[in-house]
Structure 1
Amino acid sequence: MPAHAQQAAAVEAARQAFQYPSQPLLDALRAFGRQTQYQVLFDDALVQGRQAPAITGSFTPREALERLLAGSGLVGVSTQPGTITLRKAPQAAAAAADTVLAPVVVTAQAERGVATEGTGSYTTHSTRSAIGLGLSLRETPQSVSVITRQRMEDQGLTQLADVVAQTAGLVVSQNGNVGSDSSPIYSRGFSVDNYLIDGVKMLESYTSIFQSQDMALYDRVEIVRGATGLMNGSGSPSASINMVRKKPTKDFQASARLELGSWDYRRADVDISTPLNESGSVRGRLVAAVQDAGSYIDRLEEDRTVLYGVVEADLDAGTLVRAGLSQQRHDSTGHARGGLPAFYSDGTRTKWARSDSAAPTWAYSKRHSTSGFVELEHLFDNGWELKASAMRTLTDSDELVGYASSGNPDRVTGAGVGIWATHWLYQPHQNVVNVNANGQFDLFGREHDLALGVTHARTRRNGPHFTNWYHDGWSNAISNIFTWDGNDPAAPDNPTVGSGTMNERSNSVFASTRLHATDALSVILGARYTDWQRAESTHSLKTGSTTYSLSQASGEITPYAGLVFDFSERWSAYASYTTIFQPQSYKTITGRYIDPLSGNSTEVGIKGAFFDNRLNIGAAVYETEEDNKAIAIPDTFAPDGAQAYYATSGTKSRGFEVEVAGQVAPGWELSASFARNVTRDRLGTLINTTVPKNTAKLYTSYQLDALARGLVVGGGLRWQNEIYANNMGPNRVRLVQPAYTVVDLMARYPVSEKTTISVNLNNVFDKEYLTNAGNSYYGAPRSLRVALDTKF
């Protein structure tokens, strides 16, 4: 037996100290999962109303689980490595000890029973992203999507933008290369600016910086669509994106992945997790990734390096401490914030190759971030859980912006196009401290759930200011765009003209409770109290003057209310309501921040859960009313060079979403969704017409053991309806991108017990399409990637 297998077997057989009081079986299973690091799956109906006996002593995990389930009529069955599924025991074998749990060599650790790594699933058992309580997707009165580790590996989703493109109801409105502020993410008609890591919101006014996140260090991404002010302290009606880090495993596991693809794409990933002492009470994990890639767009090259290390230790049976450090570097050369002009000077449409670049050779984007964190978790004897965390993130973003989107070319001479150019240095430091607790309490003869939390977040930024877009003594003109190689004109002389500081802070507390009014009806209530402030100062070297601005909101209360009614064993109906309060970082053409977004959001829906929550189905209808909604003004900038916006009030956003995710049958995983959103202003006029109203997404994989043992094949499609922009080009006409569909295929085959080869063919039919209706920026052509995975 290999050394690591012997070590894993030793961990499985090792005795641990268990001291659990008599308590509801659900609470006992939670404690068991935390202490042993097993993922325990079950239908809520199986454990509801059951009591676990008290156990005290030294047991193996098998022995402890057997005692917890004694008299319940349930058994734990190892359905896959690292996972135990509870089922009703056959009468003839209910008392057989070997029925309780077959020997398991754990290859993946579950974080409170919801980690997706190693499960092979396209869904998760539960999430806390919506209201702070550990609820299944069916129990959560909002639309929740989860992109699991298996889904990311199947489709080769290495960047957050890749994940978003595959998520129900989300759209990347891409005007240029990803990682720019000109490529916002939209949900339900609004741009997404709520980004979280392990459930803690990243507080920063320039939120597009988080679009550069690499997925190597994350177990899954949880997306809650709709207003999430209860958890985030701000009620943006779009969505929140919560990236959940990988955690150390109690047994040894290691893997390496080498990936090659079109346009000189090269990437290598290494992931090692191991116990650091004999009992496994101290364990660590190291994740590293290196990427060197060209692009289908001329001159664009993207390099990435990712390093993540984390150590955790069990201080006792109920207390865990975890500390980690991560660093991500994303460097792009030939980077363009926009595409080439969509019209000639005579008003007719241009026609560019998809490879034609709008970037000069000197344009670049460097986004670096370093994050350190410490977490403490404690499980009390009464089942209550306390978690405290502190995180510090340092961001270093340097962008020399240049893109040939100004003007319209003469169709004969190629003259008439110019370069937009500026320089941004962006170096914020952010500190976040978060403490929350959750557990159960008894009232009126029933058990209810309660979550409490407090968060302090602070961001500070200092940096130089440069001239924006217009530079004395420099001509941005390109002599002939048809023969342009990106070298002329050279970058403008852009000296520092001033400096600025920004201090943003947020203090908030929240509480949420799930009251079990009856066996079938749950009432969820909550509120968050927030104090928020953003102070800025700008100093001009030319005048010697300093200007100050202050935006703040004190005592802002964001309420939340939801109902969930189980009208059958598998199906629930729900409704939820929350108000909207969202401080905005968008600026008008004068440089003034637009007032906070306000309004309310209502959602009703139906959800179903099948096969021990391995398959989740949901459908929702929603309506959101907003004031101070920010609308981008094309090719118009604020004084600091950022995109300029105007505010409109009385807008309404309405729509519906349908999603199916999980295991349809053994070996068959599916994710399918359809979303429709229509947003109108107070006069009933459609707005955000460059964002599709309708989107459909499908991805599925199936294990074809009958053809070749271990062979998995998969495929999917992404469809959207037409998008358009009015008043475009010299003749102020409508620019339309018709509806289109992109099809992807995948195959994976284990060439040996530990080595797997996979192939991804994207945009199989080489569909040509614009990613936005604002310029001529095209989506990626057909591409091929081949990956070799090895486990140790």
Structure 2
Amino acid sequence: MPTPSAPVAPTFSPSRLSRAVLLACLSLGLGATATVARAQASAQAPAHHEIPAGPLDDVLTRFAAAAGVPLTIDGQLTAGKRSAGLSGSYGVREGLDRILAGSGLTVTAQPGGGYVLVKSPAATDTSGEAALPVIKVRSQAMLEATTEGTGSYTTGATSASTGLNLSLRETPQSVTVVTRQRIEDQGLTQMMDLVQNVAGLSVSQGGNAGSDSSTIYSRGFAVENYLIDGVGQNYSNYSSIFQTNDLVIFDRVEVVRGASGLMNGVGSPGASINLVRKKPTAEFQASGRVEVGSWNYYRGEADVSGALNEAGTLRGRAVAAVQDNDSYIDRLNEKRKVLYGILEADLTPNTLATAGVSIQHHDATGHARGGRPLFAKDGSLVNWARSDSAAANWGYSERHNSSLFASLEHRFDSGWSVKGTAIRSESDYDERLGYAAGGNLTPGTGSGISLYGSGWEGTPVQETFDVRATGPFEAFGRKHELVVGASTSRTRDVAPDFPGWAVTPIPDIYNWDGNTPEAPVYAPRGTQSFSERLTSAFAAARLKPTDELSVILGARVTDWRNSVSYVDNAGVMYDSSSRAESGEITPFAGVTYDFSPHWSAYASYTSIFKPQNNQSVDGSYLDPVLGNTWETGVKGAFFDNQLNVSAAIYRIQLDNFGVVIPGEFVGGDLNKPAYRAESGTLSRGFELEVSGALTPAWQLSAAFARNLAQTREGGPLDTSIPANTFKLFSTYKLASVGNGLTLGGGVRWQSEIYSERSIFPGGGAAPIPVRFTQEAYAVVDLMARYQITRNLGASVNLNNAFDKSYHMSTWNSYYGTPREVRAALDVKF
């Protein structure tokens, strides 16, 4: 648990800052436009490609997706033809000609952009007659992992589960990829907004964004594994800081449901969330966006990318965003700033160097960690308005993150590649908490509720080095794949240690304006020093006994160390702990079998290892969570792999799972609930999902998930998270309407949740048992986008269209967002 902090006075004018950053974004775009204008003038700027040999239509669509150009393919022309692939730096037309050499095929440029595959002029069929006119068929048989520019709700490949670059159908786990197109269609600017639309995930949110009161759940367990570009973010002391990510800098978000120990080493069995950064493009592109919405919402974005030299061997990208908004909750204001830059350089035709920096700020005032109490002293439910704030005016949250990253990748002629990545990330958080969450309302008087005042701050610094190699090998006359890797990560934080909570009565909550009581004054009683080191190595092989059968075998071995010490102002240590786990092996096994051209069956197994910070009544830490997870199902890919479907059944068994002991606290500290370790915890359920294109104009993402998590005795593990969820979002493009009109809509539904507790009326009266139930509910979202000109578009998103009122948590009165509208103008070049 982070430690309390003292308030920090703002040192700038928010409105002036917003205008300054918007002007900076505009200047950035204009400057980059001048820098890469030459790249825009030529569609032939060379770019580095590494495409392995394979079926001709496979190689062509990989190249077209990487180059960002439309390519129309007639499957009859490519049937039975193969290509040697492409390696090196090529312009678009040069690359296409190289791939098609000797095939008897060529491409013709289209007036509106893009290419069409046709027979070479001299080519004739076996009867000697001229070739028939080509039938234009939209084909992307193998989409690349990158989703930007594809317009798709699915992806062609992901390595988030095993480290091997596999299609969704080839991956023996449940994986959801939220693509760039879907992020833009739904206006999902923040990660917590995205999570609420992901298959099988739910959010128990008890307070404003920017605190530790928003827990993400999957398959009955909290999600605690967050990664960026496949590299884990490690700070077990306060992992929720990783939820504060703006999506403007990311190409896609990959969610692996179930245990992901092969890629993480440690973590919960619920899910892992991997955010994949945008990469520079060889062709010039620039975009800007201005968005306004309900509750004084204002946001601006700029994104410029392209080649930085004539040869196209140096490419860059810069992204910036600024946001300022009030809220449906009184007194709450949020400001966000994002700046991201990345460079790629082809040091040789086979060697790629990458370096970049990202800076993200999220600042909130009028910030509360929770909502007002649900019940009055007599046990009756209090019907607070959705706008009623629990925050003191002086409550705030500041979360700043800066990250420097670099990588070097070399591809060998044998098909093997080696990549090393180094990252230094610093997360600076400072949260001052004052929120009306204590006690219970005395009806009619407005008394009985108290303000909890506290805070915490820290500056954890994580340094990570990751290296991995992947490539093919041959055995028993068959071709297989192997990936091996190792990583080491160290996180350090030295922060002031403040005393616990100050509890101050609010005389009349009905007439409270947040100005009283004043912020408590804290002086640090000492210093907290935190250190965590994670070192691991892994290997996974994809064996192909037959064309239809794949077997994936792998394991990760992990060493973990964690130490915390507290030193008072006189330099005397008054508390410390040190824990370590060595040589923990996390195995993984998976199998897929293609029993038809479109369908595969799969099964997988992995074990679970997760150190935990939960403590027993005497202050000792619980042993690491151990367990096993099994999953089996079927997956399908249709319409040239542009539509993916899956059905999964899973079973998770855990030992040493931390369960709260009601009314017990660690060492009597009311800020630290005590836990007991329970073995035999069981979670099981099933998930159904479909994502991708039903037609070239119709994109769809839909999923239903059911989970039953139980204690050893068979009772429910946590009734405050839904057992059933349904997520749907779909768009349809009406190309015949003007320059193109896209309409979309979706629904988010979850089943009933509840919690039980006791109210203590005081005066010697007996406790009153109460139960709060949030009934099943559905939220409907709508969107529309119209292309005004080739470069200018307008869009509108109407979220919670029917203004459904619902609680995000069963523990306080924090409501979900009411009906809101956002309108935007987009310009793209």
TM-score (norm 1): 0.91
Q: Is the 8 A contact 2:39 2:307 kept in 1?
A: no
2:535 paired with 1:504:
no
Q: Secondary structure at the match of 1:68?
A: helix
Residue 177 (structure 1) shift: 1.0
Deviates more, 1:134-143 or 1:415-424: 415-424
Which residue number in structure 2 is paired with residue 468 of structure 1? 500
Of residues 607, 623, 633, the one that matches 1:579 is 607
Distance 1:752 1:214 in 2: 28
Distance 2:96 2:696 in 1: 26
Of residues 680, 693, 703, the one that matches 1:673 is 703
2:208 paired with 1:177:
yes
Q: Is the 8 A contact 1:33 1:112 kept in 2?
A: no
Call closer, same or farther: CA 1:253–1:769 in 2, change over 3 Å. Answer: same
Residue 437 (structure 1) shift: 0.9
Which residue number in structure 1 is paired with residue 368 of structure 2? 336
Q: Secondary structure at the match of 1:365?
A: strand
Q: Which amino acid aligns with 2:579?
A: S
Of residues 565, 575, 585, the one that matches 1:557 is 585
Of residues 352, 355, 358, the one that matches 1:320 is 352
Residue 617 (structure 1) shift: 0.4
Please report the RMSD computed on the Cα atoms of aligned residues, expressed in angstroms: 3.5
Deviates more, 1:83-92 or 1:615-624: 83-92
Distance 2:343 2:65 in 1: 16
Distance 1:684 1:89 in 2: 69
Q: Is the 8 A contact 1:27 1:383 kept in 2?
A: no
2:789 paired with 1:747:
no
Of residues 248, 268, 275, the one that matches 1:236 is 268
Call closer, same or farther: CA 1:321–1:26 in 2, change over 3 Å. Answer: farther
Q: Which amino acid aligns with 2:771?
A: R
Distance 1:553 1:507 in 2: 11
Q: Is the 8 A contact 2:52 2:415 kept in 1?
A: no
What are the superposed Cα offsets for residues 412-445 of structure 1, whole Å, 9 maximum, x if unpaired? 1111101122120121000010011111111111
Call closer, same or farther: CA 1:283–1:699 in 2, change over 3 Å. Answer: same
Distance 2:376 2:543 in 1: 63
2:641 paired with 1:613:
yes
Distance 1:141 1:92 in 2: 44
Deviates more, 1:197-206 or 1:542-551: 542-551
Q: Is the 8 A contact 1:285 1:309 kept in 2?
A: yes
Q: Is the 8 A contact 2:496 2:528 kept in 1?
A: yes
Which residue number in structure 2 is paired with residue 120 of structure 1? 151
Q: Secondary structure at the match of 1:732?
A: strand
Distance 1:425 1:530 in 2: 30
| 1:211-250 matched pairs, under 5 angstroms | 211-250=243-282
Distance 2:592 2:288 in 1: 43
Task: Provide structure 1 residue ranges, at least 5 long, that are not aligned to the other structure.
Answer: 103-110
Of residues 221, 229, 238, the one that matches 1:198 is 229
What are the superposed Cα offsets for residues 678-732 of structure 1, whole Å, 9 maximum, x if unpaired? 1000000101110000000000000112344310000000000000001243422
Distance 1:444 1:43 in 2: 36
Deviates more, 1:555-564 or 1:382-391: 382-391
Distance 2:367 2:57 in 1: 52
2:422 paired with 1:381:
no
Q: Secondary structure at the match of 1:424?
A: strand
| 1:252-651 matched pairs, under 5 angstroms | 252-470=284-502, 476-541=504-569, 544-588=572-616, 591-632=619-660, 639=669, 641=671, 645-651=675-681
Distance 2:587 2:540 in 1: 10
Distance 2:110 2:648 in 1: 32
Q: Which amino acid aligns with 1:515?
A: L
Residue 229 (structure 1) shift: 0.4
Q: Secondary structure at the match of 2:397?
A: strand
| 1:56-75 matched pairs, under 5 angstroms | 60-70=91-101
Q: Secondary structure at the match of 2:346?
A: strand
Q: Secondary structure at the match of 2:205?
A: coil
Q: Is the 8 A contact 1:336 1:403 kept in 2?
A: yes
Q: Secondary structure at the match of 1:613?
A: coil
Distance 1:449 1:78 in 2: 37
Deviates more, 1:601-610 or 1:269-278: 269-278
Residue 12 (structure 1) shift: 3.4
Q: Which amino acid aligns with 1:426?
A: G
Distance 1:642 1:737 in 2: 27
Task: Provide structure 2 residue ranges, at least 5 long, that are not aligned to the other structure.
Answer: 1-32, 137-141, 761-767
Distance 2:62 2:782 in 1: 41
Which residue number in structure 2 is paired with residue 759 of structure 1? 796
Which residue number in structure 2 is paired with residue 107 of structure 1? none
Call closer, same or farther: CA 1:751–1:15 in 2, change over 3 Å. Answer: closer
Q: Is the 8 A contact 2:608 2:626 kept in 1?
A: yes
Residue 632 (structure 1) shift: 4.8
Of residues 808, 826, 829, the one that matches 1:771 is 808
Q: Secondary structure at the match of 2:43?
A: helix
Q: Secondary structure at the match of 1:430?
A: strand
Which residue number in structure 2 is paired with residue 162 of structure 1? 193
Distance 1:140 1:87 in 2: 34
Q: Which amino acid aligns with 1:549?
A: S
Distance 2:531 2:442 in 1: 47
Call closer, same or farther: CA 1:703–1:469 in 2, change over 3 Å. Answer: same
Distance 1:18 1:264 in 2: 45
| 1:142-153 matched pairs, under 5 angstroms | 142-153=173-184
Q: Is the 8 A contact 1:53 1:67 kept in 2?
A: no
Call closer, same or farther: CA 1:766–1:18 in 2, change over 3 Å. Answer: closer
Residue 544 (structure 1) shift: 3.1
Q: Secondary structure at the match of 2:181?
A: helix
Q: Is the 8 A contact 1:388 1:435 kept in 2?
A: yes
Q: Secondary structure at the match of 1:223?
A: strand
Distance 1:510 1:85 in 2: 44
Call closer, same or farther: CA 1:566–1:71 in 2, change over 3 Å. Answer: farther
What are the superposed Cα offsets for residues 574-622 of structure 1, whole Å, 9 maximum, x if unpaired? 0000010012234445554332111000000100011222111011000
Q: Is the 8 A contact 2:51 2:87 kept in 1?
A: yes
Of residues 760, 778, 781, the one that matches 2:818 is 781
Q: Is the 8 A contact 1:21 1:381 kept in 2?
A: no
Call closer, same or farther: CA 1:313–1:594 in 2, change over 3 Å. Answer: same
Call closer, same or farther: CA 1:579–1:785 in 2, change over 3 Å. Answer: same
Which residue number in structure 1 is paired with residue 16 of structure 2? none
Distance 2:118 2:504 in 1: 70
Distance 1:24 1:642 in 2: 60
Residue 7 (structure 1) shift: 3.7
Distance 1:632 1:89 in 2: 72
Distance 2:75 2:626 in 1: 37
TM-score (norm 2): 0.87
Q: Secondary structure at the match of 2:511?
A: coil
Which residue number in structure 2 is paired with residue 105 of structure 1? none
Q: Is the 8 A contact 1:502 1:535 kept in 2?
A: yes
Q: Which amino acid aligns with 2:302?
A: V
Residue 646 (structure 1) shift: 4.0
Residue 77 (structure 1) shift: 9.3
Distance 1:143 1:79 in 2: 39
Which residue number in structure 2 is paired with residue 705 of structure 1? 735
Residue 355 (structure 1) shift: 0.2
- The alignment of Structure 1 onto Structure 2 pairs a total of residues equal to 780
Residue 549 (structure 1) shift: 1.0
What are the superposed Cα offsets for residues 17-59 of structure 1, whole Å, 9 maximum, x if unpaired? 9999988879977996899677999999999997544889996
Distance 2:198 2:446 in 1: 40
Distance 1:606 1:513 in 2: 21
Q: Which amino acid aligns with 1:566?
A: D
